Amino acid sequence: MTADAWITLAVVAATVAVMAADLAGPDMVLVAALTILVGAGVLSPEDAFRGFGHPAVITIAALYIVAAGVRQTGGLDWVARRALGRPPTRGRAQLRLMLPVGALSAFLNNTPVVAMFIPLVRDWARRSGLNVRDLLMPLSYASILGGTCTLIGTSTNLVVAGLYSARAGGAEIGLFDISWIGLPVFVVGIFSVVLLSRGLSKGKPKPTSRREEMREYTLSLRVERGSPVVGQTIEEAGLRSLDKLYLYEIERDGHVLPAVPPSTRLYADDKLRFTGILDSAVDLRKMRLVPETEEARRLEGKSERRWVEAVVAPQSVLEGSTIRAAAFRTHFNAAVIAVHRQGERVPAKIGDIVLRAGDVLLLETHPRFVEKYRHDPSFALVALVEGSTPPRHEKAWLAMLILVAMVAVNVAGLLPLLTAALAAAAAMLITRCLSGQEARQSLELRVLVAVAAALGLGVALERSGAAATLGDTILGLAIPLGPVGLLAVIYATTALLAGAVTTTTSAALMFPVAAAACASVPELPLLPTALIVAVAASTAFSTPTGYQTNLMVYGPGGYRYRDFLEVGLPLQAIVGTVAVTMAWLIYL
C-alpha cells in the first residue's frame, strides 16, 4: 500500500478508538480526522469537505424540516396513539415499532422514514414511560433490515443491480429476487435486535431535566371539541400512566369527580386537573387539552401561544397582590395557568393566589413575551418552555398531503429524493405548517456535520487505495475456502468496508472484486454473489458512521460508539449467517 493508504488507515483506527472511548462527540472527532488528513496531504481541502455540500447531507437537512412540519401540525400523532399504543414491555414496544418501519423501508428510502419517526418515537417514549435508548437504535436497524427485502429498498441495492447487469451481459435482478435472502434476514434480524438490545438502557437511567427535578405544577386543562380523547376512557387516552403527572380529578357540568377510575369516559369541555412535572404536561397539548382559565380563553392568536415560566422578583410590583388584582393579562398580555411555590400545591383559584417573591408562574402567552420581559424588574427570570407550541391541527391534513406527495413523486421516479425533499420543505414553510424559526431549530447540526465528515473519510479510504487493497487481499486469501466460504468472506469484507465508507461506495468497490473471485470459483454463480454484496453493504449495523440512519439516531438516543459495537457486531454476524445460508440453500 502507498504511504497515503497507511496514513488513512492510521487516522481511521485512531478515530474509531477515540469515538469508542467517548472522548468527544462524533462530529468533532470526524472533523478532526479530516483536518489531519488534509494536513498530511492525503486529501485536498476541497475533497475533504466536499461532503458538506453532498446531496445526502442536504437531503437529511430538508427531511428534518419536513418532519418538523408534520410534527408541528400533529400529523402523525394518531400513529403514536393508535398504531404504537402503550405496549407493556420493552420487547413489545420494539416489535410494534420495527415491524411497520421495516415494511415501509422495503419500498421507501430509509432516510425519510427514520427522519419522520425520530420525533414521533421520542414523544412516544416519554408518554409511555419507555427509555428512548431502547427504541431509536432499533428504529435505525429496522429501516436497514427492511431495505434488504426488495430491490428498491435502498439505493445500494440498485447500484449492485446496475453493476450486475453490466457484468452479466444485460441480465437484470428482479424486484423481489433479493427477497429470498432479504425476508429471512428481516425476520431473524428483527427478533435478534429485541434480544441483543436488552442492555442498552441497563444502568443508564433516562435523562432528567432540571425543571423535572425542581418544579411541579397543578394544572387545570379543558378538553377541546374535536380532541382525540373525546369518547375515550382515561386508560385508552393514556392519561392514567403519564410520566410523573397525575390526573387527580375531573370537573364536569359543575360537578367534581375525585379519584376517577381508569374506565371513566372523557367528554368535550371536561375540566381535567393534573399535578406533576411540566415536561409531561407539555405532551397534553398534542391531545388538544387547553388551559381552562377564563384569562387564557381571552388571549388572541391561539396557534401562536407558548408556555413561558417567569419567576416573581423580590420587590416586584406583583409581590403581595393577587393575580386578578394585578390585572396580569391586561398588563402583560399573558394568562397565569399554574403557580409553583417551593414544592407546595397552592389551593386557591388562580385569580385569588397572592403572589410572593420566588413564585414560578407558568404563563400562556405569545412567544415575544420572553424577549419583551426578559429584563423587566417584575421578573427575576423568564424562560420559554421547550415544545410548548400547540400543534396546528387545522393544517395536519396539509402537512400529511405534502409528505405523501414527496414520497409519491420520489417512488414514481419523477424527482430524486433531494429535489422532492427540498420542495416539500419549501411547501411546509410557504403553507405555514411551521415557521422559519421552527425550521431552523429542527436542524440537527451535529448530525449533519458528522454525516458530512464521515463522507469525507470515506473519500480518503477510496482515493488512497486503502479500501480496494484490503478487499483484494482478503478475498484473495478466501478463494481456497470454496463457494460457501467465499460468500461468507465476501459478506464480512463488504460489511467491514460499509462500516468505514458509505454503503454505496462499499458495494461499488467490492462488486468487481467479488465478481473476479467468482471467475476463479466456477461453482459460485454471479447472482448470489451480487445479492450477498448488496445485503452486506446495506446492513452496516456495527458503527454509527456506517449508515446515515445510524448517525441520525446516535445523538438523539444518547448512545456511545460501543453501543453500536455491542449490539451491531453480533447482529451483523447473525444477519451474515442467515444471508449466506439462504444463498447456499437456494443457489448452490
Cell numbers at 109, concatenated:
428510502
Interatomic CA distance for residues 309 and 384, integer angstroms? 6
Domains along the chain? Answer: 6-203+447-587 (no CATH), 305-390 (3.30.70.1450)
Per the CB < 8 A criterion, the answer to whether 122 and 78 are in contact is no
pLDDT at 185 over 90: yes
Burial class (CB in 10 A: 0-12, 13-18, 19+), 204: middle
pLDDT at 411 over 80: no
The mean per-residue pLDDT over the stretch 94-98 comes to 92
How high is the pLDDT of residue 79? Answer: 64
SS3 253: coil
pLDDT at 287 over 70: yes
Per the CB < 8 A criterion, the answer to whether 348 and 324 are in contact is no
- The residues that bridge with 246 in the sheet, in sequence order, are 275
Residue pLDDT, tens place only, 242-265:
767 788 888 888 888 877 788 888
pLDDT at 554 over 80: yes
pLDDT band of residue 203 (cuts 50, 70, 90) is very low
The mean per-residue pLDDT over the stretch 414-422 comes to 85
Burial 282-319 (b: 16+ CB within 10 A, else e): bbbbbbbbbbbbebbeebeeeeebbbbbbbbbeebebb
How many helices (H) does the chain have, and how many strands (E)?
A: 25, 9
The mean per-residue pLDDT over the stretch 2-22 comes to 80
Residue pLDDT, tens place only, 347-377:
667 778 888 888 888 888 887 888 888 888 8
Return mean pLDDT, the chain: 81
How high is the pLDDT of residue 576? Answer: 93
Per the CB < 8 A criterion, the answer to whether 200 and 206 are in contact is no
Burial class (CB in 10 A: 0-12, 13-18, 19+), 22: middle
- The region of weakest confidence among 266-280, 312-326, 507-521, 542-556 is 507-521
The mean per-residue pLDDT over the stretch 20-32 comes to 78
pLDDT band of residue 139 (cuts 50, 70, 90) is very high
Residue pLDDT, tens place only, 205-217:
444 444 444 567 7
How high is the pLDDT of residue 195? Answer: 94
Residue pLDDT, tens place only, 109-121:
788 888 888 888 8
Check: pTM over 0.75? Answer yes or no: no
Cite the beta strand spans of 421-474 per DSSP E.
none
